[in-house]
A and B are shown apart, each in its own frame.
Chain A
């Protein structure tokens, strides 16, 4: 049932990439428990604007859990205290009346802060650009049903491909590692015959790029898969390890 709660928010504010940040504390009096976390942020921003202050900058877009844009670290967890959700799918019914909520940006050397709660995740694009695709151009491809693919493989590839590139895995990893993200793409394509053709090259290039960009070494804590809003499994990391080692040993 709908209820109104009041909250104290501790929000990270930072004017620009090179500026020093700080926490600001704000009070919100009536927040409906039916509203989403980001709608609560909207209410906060409306209040700040009405008070003549600058609103809090945060990334968000589709607000239905698929674009991967929203990225708030709430009370010690990326995407907050609910499982299998993005920040936009988190609802205020998960919080108690009078609670203090700490809201921080993703923190990792690979994701520098741009402003307030917005971080730069271009590194993920750079990693994909290094090999996260099949090297085929438009046109001249075989019929879609030319190569049968086992349903089991197709489904597993789909599960890996459901990664939304939000970066929660890196945000929660004590090592700032991007292995879950990289492994999801390597797995997705390695499981399909269309992607197997250049699987070795892909694994090597993507891992090299990930290392080059300063992400950490995976120590198999599994925190990434716990916080992944799409439930991408660390079995994919095992597959990436396999693909990578196989490729390197073949050299």
Chain B
């Protein structure tokens, strides 16, 4: 039986983290030198963790599939990072950030973890400023804030529209400082293909050098996965092309529970799909909703005329526009949380009011802001985003409204972790988007950066010591132990198997098929029948993949198609897991919307009496249905209620 003890410390929620730190075990400096930690991934969580471990004196091995740690997809986060600094004096506090995050997550997150996140949020801002992150400032020289969805205070720190980039570069620089100091051994263009278990503990990884195709064995007293989310199971998403869920699936196959896989966030403000050749969806920062107003035509005939190219959006009179978010949610208006905004867009488009050539788009209009603040002010705030839009769509958003539509963006679900961020496999930790812990069923904007850095800078450096303190006399392994040899052999066989299929269909072709199934049946609106169909279809895709995929070239040297194929194999398993989880969760909450469970007004209807738990899936073996275990969620502080943004 899988161990799902969440190890939440005793005491009131606001004191748990202090209590934990006061009582945890530590490793003395001399012993740190004897301990090796493997960190997989170099995004916000991975780079910050690896750098912090290195600074503390541990020996770190850090892996990335990219040519440089700075390419990790955290770099693409645009809008900002939340913290409870309350610099604008608008009533923010650690408690309010904690409360907003639990509420925003639709009451499916663990209170203790979220409170800790809110507590360390302020330290993150301090740390980043000390690293030289050029956050936006006021003329007085102090830090500027802006507001984001799901909050009534301005608590978001930002660096133009490139906050993720700047935070990642801060962490990357800290990491490179440790590389220079020799505490971190960096392996670029290297992919983890398996996790090595010795006596029931994670003790290393099998890696594949993506340039030479060679397999490597690496030992670590502990292994940290900071490998991001699995949104690319949908093929089209806002994730980078290389973002994948393979390390998470390897962990799952080694006994780590996979929690809430169905909780995937659909981001409301992405550039709509426009062709079959499309490879990726581009996000337009949520911060645009601060000044942009979302609307569709109020009359169906206007929408039809626009779709047919007979009418321009600027020709629609004010009274014939339906600002549906402002209409439905007067209190939060255009700043409702992402899941609410996404579903509302889908509702309008499904009802026939959508625009664009496909009818799957709504307008995000800056006209009134430009009139109120002037074009220069809007340019200063969003210039780079507007430029990006214009480059892609060839429309000028200063003159005509942007078109947006929801797209898969972030996965709240992930590897189950306890309070210490340890998975159900001893010695295996998960951080950042790769774990499931802090966002419940929906993540608020500007919270992903906060969580990634919280895990890496301020949580793992403490909690991993509590684990490693018992390991100080465990000698380093050489990598020649039978467990390593065996794991490498298995990994090699998997790659050889893929190469030997020599079928007819390209990896992308199969991936697109999987993506369509995911979007149609496991996307924004799900139902029992569709999910059952999805599971069947995914099983067929799996069969087709293992019998008909075509991978040119060999396993020697660089082979991009082989990399993609091995990741797709894992995405197929993730897709199956997502569908199963979505099927079992007979309620609507956050990013998970089951059509059978909605209020009369079409709002998500939770079933707190039945589903106030994290659904943790345990792997049972190849081609066997996984088993679901529950980690019950108890809410001591937060009052569970239907979310109301009206």
Q: Report if A and B associate in a common complex.
A: yes
Q: Which residues on B sit within 8 Å (CB–CB) of A219?
A: none
Contacting pair A133 B177 (CB below 8 A): yes
Please give the distance in Å from B43's CB to the nearest CB on chain A: 11
A55 to B552, CA, bound (A): 8
Q: Which residues on A sit within 8 Å (CB–CB) of B52?
A: 137-138
Could you give, for residues 441-482 of chain B, a 1 whenever the CB lies within 8 Å of some chain A CB and a 0 otherwise?
000000000000000011001000000000000000000000
Of A65-73, A97-105, A168-176, A234-242, the segment with at least 4 beta carbons within 8 Å of chain B is A65-73
Going nearest first, the 4 A-B pairs with the smallest beta carbon separation are: A148-B141, A133-B173, A141-B130, A158-B134
A63 to B236, CA, bound (A): 12
Contacting pair A132 B275 (CB below 8 A): no
Please give the distance in Å from A158's CB to the nearest CB on chain B: 4
Contacting pair A121 B283 (CB below 8 A): no
Please give the distance in Å from B503's CB to the nearest CB on chain A: 11
Which of A35, A82, A84, A150 has a CB less than 8 Å from the CB of B277?
A35
Please give the distance in Å from B133's CB to the nearest CB on chain A: 8
Contacting pair A133 B174 (CB below 8 A): yes
Per DSSP, chain A at the interface is loop
Please give the distance in Å from A160's CB to the nearest CB on chain B: 8
Contacting pair A194 B240 (CB below 8 A): no
Contacting pair B176 A129 (CB below 8 A): yes
Whether, in the assembled complex, B91 has its beta carbon less than 8 Å from a beta carbon of chain A, the answer is no
Which of B169, B180, B211 has a CB less than 8 Å from the CB of A114?
B211
Please give the distance in Å from B72's CB to the nearest CB on chain A: 8
- Find the B residue at minimum CB distance from A120: B67
Whether, in the assembled complex, A161 has its beta carbon less than 8 Å from a beta carbon of chain B, the answer is yes
Q: Which residues on A sit within 8 Å (CB–CB) of B392?
A: 36, 89, 91
What's the tally of chain B residues with a CB closer than 8 Å to chain A?
Answer: 81
* A122/B552 contact (C-beta < 8 A), A89-B392, A138-B55 known: no
B132, B162, B211, B278: most-surrounded residue (chain A CB, <10 A): B132
Contacting pair A49 B279 (CB below 8 A): no
Contacting pair A63 B391 (CB below 8 A): no
Which of B129, B143, B173 has a CB less than 8 Å from the CB of A128?
B173
* A57/B560 contact (C-beta < 8 A), A65-B388, A124-B68, A132-B176 known: yes
Q: Which residues on A sit within 8 Å (CB–CB) of B173?
A: 128, 132-134
Pull 15 A–B residue pairs with CB atoms less than 8 Å apart, ordered by A. Answer: A2-B274, A2-B275, A46-B508, A53-B552, A63-B240, A67-B73, A91-B394, A93-B394, A114-B211, A125-B70, A125-B179, A141-B130, A144-B128, A151-B137, A154-B134
Contacting pair A144 B506 (CB below 8 A): no
Q: Which residues on B sit within 8 Å (CB–CB) of A143?
A: 126
A128 to B282, CA, bound (A): 29
Q: Which residues on B sit within 8 Å (CB–CB) of A165?
A: 68, 70
Please give the distance in Å from A29's CB to the nearest CB on chain B: 13
Contacting pair A150 B174 (CB below 8 A): no
Please give the distance in Å from B452's CB to the nearest CB on chain A: 14
* A161/B166 contact (C-beta < 8 A), A66-B76, A114-B558, A125-B176 known: yes
Residues of chain A in range 180-230 having any CB-CB distance to chain B below 8 Å: 188-189, 192, 194-195
Whether, in the assembled complex, A118 has its beta carbon less than 8 Å from a beta carbon of chain B, the answer is yes
A171 to B544, CA, bound (A): 43
- Further contacts, 14 of them, CB under 8 A, given A144-B85, A145-B142, A194-B129: A2-B275, A53-B552, A54-B552, A57-B560, A61-B71, A62-B73, A115-B557, A132-B173, A134-B173, A143-B126, A151-B138, A158-B159, A165-B68, A194-B130
Contacting pair B176 A128 (CB below 8 A): yes
Please give the distance in Å from B173's CB to the nearest CB on chain A: 4
Whether, in the assembled complex, B51 has its beta carbon less than 8 Å from a beta carbon of chain A, the answer is yes
Which of A85, A124, A188 has a CB less than 8 Å from the CB of B132?
A188
Q: Which residues on A sit within 8 Å (CB–CB) of B277?
A: 32, 35, 39-40, 42-43
- Give the total number of A-B pairs whose CB atoms are below 8 A apart: 221
- Find the A residue at minimum CB distance from B54: A137
Contacting pair A122 B67 (CB below 8 A): yes
B55, B129, B159, B550: most-surrounded residue (chain A CB, <10 A): B129
Q: Which residues on B sit within 8 Å (CB–CB) of A118?
A: 558
Whether, in the assembled complex, A16 has its beta carbon less than 8 Å from a beta carbon of chain B, the answer is yes
Please give the distance in Å from B350's CB to the nearest CB on chain A: 25
Whether, in the assembled complex, B140 has its beta carbon less than 8 Å from a beta carbon of chain A, the answer is yes
Please give the distance in Å from B19's CB to the nearest CB on chain A: 19
Contacting pair B391 A89 (CB below 8 A): yes
Could you give, for residues 28-46 of chain A, a 1 whenever the CB lies within 8 Å of some chain B CB and a 0 otherwise?
0000101110111011011
Please give the distance in Å from A204's CB to the nearest CB on chain B: 14
* A162/B85 contact (C-beta < 8 A), A68-B71, A69-B67, A151-B137 known: no
A15 to B283, CA, bound (A): 35
Whether, in the assembled complex, B135 has its beta carbon less than 8 Å from a beta carbon of chain A, the answer is yes
Please give the distance in Å from A17's CB to the nearest CB on chain B: 8
A39, A42, A50, A138: most-surrounded residue (chain B CB, <10 A): A138
Contacting pair B391 A121 (CB below 8 A): no
- Find the B residue at minimum CB distance from A68: B71
Whether, in the assembled complex, B374 has its beta carbon less than 8 Å from a beta carbon of chain A, the answer is no
Whether, in the assembled complex, B123 has its beta carbon less than 8 Å from a beta carbon of chain A, the answer is yes
Please give the distance in Å from A30's CB to the nearest CB on chain B: 10
Contacting pair B177 A135 (CB below 8 A): yes
* A64/B130 contact (C-beta < 8 A), A35-B275, A162-B165 known: no
Contacting pair B143 A161 (CB below 8 A): no
Contacting pair B67 A64 (CB below 8 A): no
Contacting pair A50 B125 (CB below 8 A): no
- Find the A residue at minimum CB distance from B78: A66
Q: Which residues on B sit within 8 Å (CB–CB) of A62?
A: 71, 73, 75-76, 240-241
Q: Which residues on B sit within 8 Å (CB–CB) of A192?
A: 132, 134
Please give the distance in Å from B502's CB to the nearest CB on chain A: 10
Whether, in the assembled complex, B172 has its beta carbon less than 8 Å from a beta carbon of chain A, the answer is yes
Please give the distance in Å from B138's CB to the nearest CB on chain A: 7
Contacting pair B135 A154 (CB below 8 A): yes
Please give the distance in Å from B62's CB to the nearest CB on chain A: 12
A38 to B242, CA, bound (A): 14
Q: Which residues on A sit within 8 Å (CB–CB) of B241?
A: 60-63
A42, A91, A125, A164: most-surrounded residue (chain B CB, <10 A): A125
Which of B73, B274, B558 has a CB less than 8 Å from the CB of A61?
B73
Q: Which residues on A sit within 8 Å (CB–CB) of B164?
A: 66
A155 to B136, CA, bound (A): 7
Whether, in the assembled complex, B634 has its beta carbon less than 8 Å from a beta carbon of chain A, the answer is no
Please give the distance in Å from B403's CB to the nearest CB on chain A: 13
Residues of chain B in range 548-580 having any CB-CB distance to chain A below 8 Å: 550, 552-553, 557-558, 560-561
